Structure 1
Amino acid sequence: MSLDKIWKQQLALVSYGNEYLSGQIAMQQLLQHQIFNLHQFTFRDLNTQQLLAQHFQVWLEGLKQQGVQRISLHHSNLLRQEQNPNPNVELLSFAHFIVTHQGTQLSAWIFGQELAKWYSAEEDFIIPPAQCSSARLMTYWRFDLNSKLSKLIKQDLLKPNWDEIHRYTESELFLHHYAQDFEYIPKTDQLYYGTSEVGHSSENSQSTLLALLPNYISAPYAHEMLYQLEDLSVFIQKKINHPYDDQGIIYTPEQQLNLRHFSEKIDDITAKFLVKVANHYPTAKLTVTASVPNEPFDATMQIPTKATPLTEPHENNGKKMSVVTLIIVTAILCLIAFYYGF
C-alpha cells in the first residue's frame, strides 16, 4: 500500500504543535498553515468514543492546559501486536501515529472510523461526490500506552545519526539500479512546503506559505531529503504507469513486479525517515567532510613535492636493483650460449 499523503499534515501538526506547547509560536500561525486546508481533524477517546476536540486548535489548547510537554510521531509497526479495545471503531492502517507525553503517561493517537450499526457491507459506504466536503474528515482516537510500548517509544526518540541515515538511504535507494536514470535537481536552501502547487507559484505567493517544518529552525538536510525522496517516488511511479524502456520495449512482468517492490521500499524508508525528521529535525544536519574534487587537477588537491617524497626513494632503489639484476642475468646467458656454441 502506498504511503498516504496525510503524513504531511501529521508532520506539520507535530513540528508546529511542539513549538506551540513550548510557547515559541502562537496558535494563529498554525491556523494559517495551508497544509491543514486539505483535512479536518477531530479527536475522540477510543474507550468511551467521547468527542474530546472538534479541531486541532481545541486539541492543542487542551493538551497545553493538561501539562503535555511534547508530541512525537512514530511508525505504526510499533502497534502491530496491540489489540483494539473497542469493536465499534475500526483503526486504520496508516503509516504513522502520534504520541502525547504528559509526565510518565504516554497516549497514542491513531486514525480510525466508527462502524455504523445499520451498515453491514464489507466495503466502505460511498457518499455521492456532490455531497462530500472538499476537506477530508479524519478522526484521531486516543488510548493510553502500556509500559512496554512506552519503552519502545522512548527508544524511538534516541538521537539519530544523520550521517548513517544518509549513507543507508543513498545505498538502498539512490544508488539502486532502478534509480540509475533518476536525475535530481538539488533544492539547496529551499524549504519543503508539501504542496504540489508551490512549484507553480510565484515568489510572492510562496512567501505566504509555511513549510512543513518551522522555517526559523535550520534543518537543511531534512528539507532536501523530503524533496529528493518525493521526486524519486514520482520518477518510479511514472515507470510503473508507463513500463517501457528508451527503445519502446515493454518491461517484462518480473521487471514490472520489481519496480512495484522498489516503490514500496521507497515508501517504507520514507516513512521511517519521517519519524526521525518529526522528532529530531533541529539536528538534521550532515557532518562536514572533505569531498572528492570535481576535476582531477582541482586547485584544492594537495600534490606531493620534493619536500614530501612519500614512497619515492623506495621506488628509485627498487628500479636501480632491477637494472643490476638484468645485467647479471644477461651476462650469464651469454656465457652459457658461448659455452654450448650458440
Structure 2
Amino acid sequence: MYWQFLPCHGARAYREAMTMNITLNNGVEMPALGFGVFQTPPEATASSVTEALTVGYRLIDTAASYLNEREVGDGITQSGLDRSEVFIETKLWISDYGYEEALHAFEKSAGKLGVEQIDLLLLHQPLTTAFERTVGAYTALEKLLADGKVRAIGVSNFMPEMLSELLRQTSVVPAVNQVEVHPYFTQPEVQRVNAEHGILTQAWSPMGGITSYRGDSSRSTFTDPVIGAIATAHGKSPAQVMLRWHLQEGRSAIPKSVKPERIAANVDVFDFELTGDELAAIDGLDTGVRGGPDPASVTLDGFHRDIPEA
C-alpha cells in the first residue's frame, strides 16, 4: 500500500480529503477517509450521502445488509458528481454466500446502487460454520474482479485464522479487511497480519461509537480524559483526534453521522498532526474488549437476512 498525503489547512481541508489516497495492493487508489451509512435509515441516507459528498468525502461505504444501497445510489446521483469521482464500497451478506449466489448478489447491489462497476466489494463476515460457502463467495469476487465488474475485492471481520484459511484456498489476496478498530479495541494482531499480506486495515466504528450501545456505558471514547486532553491541545474534538489517529497510523476509517455539522467536522481532520507520544497514548487505551459480535458467532441460523432484489 502506498500513501499519498498532501497536507493543507483550514477551509481547504475538504480538498485534502480528495488527495489523501491509499494505493491498494492491486494498484487501485482509494480515499483514506470515507463516509459510512451503517444503521442510517433509508429515508435519511440519500441526503446524508449528498451532504458528505458536498463537504468533500469521496468514499462511500455501505452493505447489502444495511438495506440502504438504493438510497446511497440516489445520494450520489443527487450530488451531481461524475461517477468517476466517487469510490463506492459495499459488502455481500452471508445469506448470499456461495459462488452463484454471490454473483447474483453483486447484480442486486449494483442494480440498487445504479452502477455497472463497484469500486470495492467485500465479504461482510466469514461464515465459519460453512466456510466452503465463504470460499465460494470469494471465488465469485475473484471472477467479478477478473471481468472488470469490480475494481478491488476484500473481506470484513476476518480474524487471522480465517484469513489464513481463505488465502490458502483462493488466489487473490484481499485488498482490504474492514474490522472493528477504535481506541478501546485496536486488534493489533489482526492489523499485524493484514500488514504482512499487504492488506489495508479499514476501521468500522472508528471512534468507538459501538461502545456507547453495546459495551460499558460508563466509559466512552468521546469522554475519555486522555483523548480529551489531546483534543484540547490541538483545538479539535475527540472525534477529530480519533480519526486523525487512524489516518496517521495508516488505516482507512469510515465514520458515520446523519447530522450535517458532524459530517463536516469529521472530514476536517487534515490541518493538524498528532505527535508520536500522542499516538502512543491513544494506542495505550486498548481494553481488548470487542464491541461488536465475535465474528465466529455469526451463523446463518442466527444472522440470516433475505437481501431484496434490485
TM-score over 0.5 for the pair: no
TM-score by length of 1: 0.27
Larger radius of gyration: 1
Point out which structure has higher relative CO (alpha carbons under 8 A, 6+ apart): 2
TM-score by length of 2: 0.29
